Amino acid sequence: MHEVMKIEGGHLLEGEVTISGAKNATVALIPAAVLANGPVTIVGIPQIADVKALADILRILKVEVIEVADDHIIIDPTKMENVDLDDDIVTKLRASYYFMGALLGKYGYVRMKMPGGCYLGPRPIDLHLKGFEALGAKVTYDKACYTIQAKKLKGAKIFLDIASVGATINIMMASVYAEGRTTIENAAKEPEIIDIATLLNKMGARIRGAGTNVITIDGVKSLSGCFHEIIPDRIEAGTFIVIAAAMAKRMVINNIIPQHLDALLSKLKEMGVNMEVGIDRVVIERSESLKSVDITTRPYPGFATDLQQPLTALLTQANGEGRVTETIYIERFKHCIELNKMGADIDLIPAGAIINGPTPLYGTKVSATDLRCGAAMIVAGLMAEGVTEIDNVYHIDRGYSEIDRKLSMLGAKIWRENVD
Ligand code: EPU
């Protein structure tokens, strides 16, 4: 027996939804908290499986984790021990690699398994490791584990060949206690990076320039506990915006930072979606007819690769030919194969897809091959005639907080079943 998600499509949605704290910030904030020497309180924690996995890793490290309320966690690393992370739990998610930077930064030593996460084509971590080496660490790999150690971490100038989100955050964490100044050039500029730098600065770190492509970190001797509220999840917000564009009679999406969604909102405007953007919310009504657009994924502030998949599902209902080009993960197109099973007309080309619309979609059995493919299947399932059955739901649960409840409140017919 295994769990599937079922959606009966064709029902218009109406009402309000509130976006949760950002997954891709949370999964770095939790490891970053261990750099403190006192309790760190984080508010706005999304209810996702990745958080549970990270809390389990914290417990292995003898860090006290107190879940005060659904979205409120206290992490107390006072009695922490730098235990080897060779447990399989590390391979469940990609973000476990943030313990590399955090533990190296705090203890000058870390041993852990290779991180896991969604398969989106090869996802190397060479830039993280080169960054650690530039700070004076030695990296070795044996028995499926990395060992990273340094007698002393010293600030350095690090140029990233690619503006990697993970490498930027990991190097920030590894260098907060390093002697002297670290400069990260060609740093990633995603909003989540600013959120991590804000947490570290509240603890007492001296990080400047987060959100630009040059970040400087001046090493400090000690960091203390603090209170932090996570920024809203721009990818969850974008997913609901796409769902609203597809199926909303009228939907109000609360707790968003519209500026974080500029690339998506401008594409939807081009498609002909009716939107009213406020300070921290957006109101959307679906239009009878949508126009196709082309998108190319880019690092922030460009079009997010994580929203490429849900938007592709919407493009199947737009008039004309839409072209999607990936520059971040060139193999991130498994959702197109699933969409074609539902009636879409999508041709795959190298690092891209051509969507010919509109074509009616029909409910059938599909798979959430990765997290955002799962989001694309939900968008398609809501639009399709009949019942869509989505397999591998655990991918969706890794990143979307209470998605069934939020959609049900809006009038969607969505439920789970155990099937053979
Ligand atoms: N890259 C390297 N070497 C490295 C690191 C990255 O070649 O050492 C390449 C990657 O293969 C990719 C590009 O650089 O082609 C960008 O990767 P990046 O490091 O920025 O991605 P990430 O940190 O692994 C995060 C998010 C992803 C999101 C990407 C891009 C987290 C936990 N994950 O991944 O989110 O797609 O940034 O914005 O923050 C998701 O939420 O579904 C998801 C996959």
Q: How many CB atoms lie within 10 A of CB 214?
A: 12
Q: Is residue 304 part of a domain?
A: yes
Q: What's the CA dihedral at 284, 289, 294, 298 to 10 degrees? A: 10
For residue 12, the surrounding DSSP H or E stretch is: none
- So what's the pLDDT on residue 123? 81
Same domain? 253 vs 210:
no
Q: Does 109 map to a domain?
A: yes
Helix-strand-coil split of the chain, %, nearest 5: 35, 30, 35
Query: In terms of Cα–Cα distance, which of 32, 16, 38, 43 is closest to 232?
Result: 43
> In this structure, are 11 and 29 located in the same domain?
no
Give the atom of ligand 1 at the shortest distance from the alpha carbon of 163: 20
Domain termination site, one of 163, 192, 220:
220
- CB of 164 within 6 A of ligand 1: the answer is yes
For ligand 1, is residue 165 a contact (CB within 6 Å)?
A: yes
Atom of ligand 1 nearest to the CA of 190: 38
Atom from ligand 1 closest to the CA of residue 126: 8
Question: Residue 125: CB within 6 Å of ligand 1?
Answer: yes
**Mean residue pLDDT across the chain:** 96
Nearest CA residue ID for atom 31, ligand 1: 24
143: left (phi over 0), alpha (psi -120 to 50) or beta: left
- Domain shared by 192 and 319, yes or no: no
Each residue of 1-43: pLDDT tens digit?
999 999 999 999 999 999 999 999 999 999 999 999 999 999 9
Looking at 157, 191, 220, the residue that finishes a domain is 220
| 313 within ligand 1 shell (Cβ under 6 A) | no
List, in order, residues 6 or more apart from 98 with CB less than 8 Å away: 27, 28, 30, 31, 32, 166, 169, 170, 173
Q: What is the DSSP letter of 110?
A: E
Residue found under tokens 């721009």: 234
Q: Whose CA is nearest to atom 25 of ligand 1?
A: 165
Q: Cα(371)–Cα(401) distance, rounded to whole angstroms? A: 12
**Strand 387-391 versus strand 365-367 pairing type:** parallel
CA of residue 28 relative to chain centroid, distance = 10
Position 410 in a domain: yes
Q: Is it the case that residue 118 has pLDDT exceeding 80? A: no
- pLDDT tens, residue by residue, 307-331: 999 999 999 999 999 999 999 999 9
**Domain assignment present for 185:** yes
Give a yes or no: residue 227 inside a domain. Answer: no
The rounded Å distance from CA 72 to ligand 1 centre is 27
Distance 165 CA to ligand 1 centre (A): 6
Q: Are 6 and 243 in contact (CB under 8 A)?
A: no
Distance CA 85, CA 101 (A): 13
Residues 68 and 215 in one domain: yes
* CA angle at 224 for the pair 223 and 227, rounded to the nearest 5°: 125
Residue 376 maps to which CATH number? 3.65.10.10
Q: Is the pLDDT of residue 54 over 80?
A: yes
Atom nearest to 192 CA in ligand 1: 39
Indicate if the pLDDT at residue 162 is higher than 90.
yes
According to DSSP, the residues that pair with 348 across neighbouring strands are 353
Q: How many CB atoms lie within 10 A of CB 223?
A: 23
**Domain membership flag for residue 226:** no
Residue whose CA lies nearest to ligand 1 atom number 39: 24
Does 6 share its domain with 74?
no
Specify whether 88 is located in the same domain as 204. Answer: yes
Nearest CA to ligand 1 atom 19: 164
167 lines ligand 1 (CB under 6 A): yes
Is residue 127 within 6 Å of ligand 1 at its C-beta? yes
Question: Based on the domain organization, do 303 and 254 belong to the same domain?
Answer: yes
Please give the DSSP secondary-structure letter assigned to residue 91. Answer: G
Instruction: Specify the 3-state DSSP secondary structure of 103.
Output: helix
pLDDT mean over 154-164: 98
Within this chain, do residues 193 and 246 fall inside the same structural domain, yes or no?
no
Which bin fits 347, alpha (ψ -120 to 50), beta or left (φ > 0)?
beta
Phi-psi group of 343: left, alpha or beta (phi > 0 → left; psi -120 to 50 → alpha; rest → beta): left
Residue that terminates a domain, selected from 220, 252, 280: 220
Same domain (yes/no): 73, 86: yes
Q: Which residues are identified as catalytic? A: 118
Please compute the mean of the pLDDT values over residues 173-182 and round it to a whole number. 98
Cα dihedral sign for 304, 305, 311, 316? positive
Q: How many domains does the chain have?
A: 2
- State whether 338 and 376 are in the same domain: yes
107-135 average pLDDT score: 89
Is pLDDT of 122 > 80?
Answer: no
Q: Is the CB of residue 196 below 6 angstroms from any atom belonging to ligand 1?
A: no
Q: E strands along 246-393, which residues?
A: 248-254, 274-277, 281-285, 295-296, 320-325, 346-349, 352-357, 365-367, 387-391
- The residue nearest atom 14 of ligand 1, judged by CA position, is 164
Cα-to-centroid distance, 119 and ligand 1 (Å): 11
DSSP codes, 17-33: EE--B-HHHHHHHHHHH
**207, 297: one domain:** no
Report the atom number in ligand 1 closest to the C-alpha of 372.
42
Query: Is the CB of 298 inside a 6 Å radius of any atom of ligand 1?
Result: no
**Which two structure tokens, joined as six digits, stand for 207?**
């990080």
Range of the domain at 345: 2-20+232-419
Q: Cβ contacts of residue 384 below 8 Å, gap of 6+? A: 7, 9, 10, 342, 343, 361, 362, 363
pLDDT of the residue at 291: 98
pLDDT band per the 50, 70, 90 thresholds, residue 119? confident
Residue 144 — pLDDT band, cuts 50, 70, 90?
confident
Q: How many angstroms separate the alpha carbon of residue 167 from the centre of ligand 1? A: 9
Find where tokens 């739901």 sit.
393
Look at residue 303 and give its three-state secondary structure.
strand
Reduced to 3 states (helix: H, G, I; strand: E, B; else coil), residue 65 is strand
Residue with the smallest CA separation from ligand 1 atom 17 is: 164
Confidence of residue 171 (pLDDT cuts 50, 70, 90): very high
Whether 48 lines ligand 1, by a CB cut-off of 6 Å, is: no
E strands along 186-300, which residues?
206-208, 214-218, 227-229, 248-254, 274-277, 281-285, 295-296
Q: Ligand 1 centroid vs 347 CA: distance in angstroms?
A: 25
Pair (67, 189) in one structural domain: yes
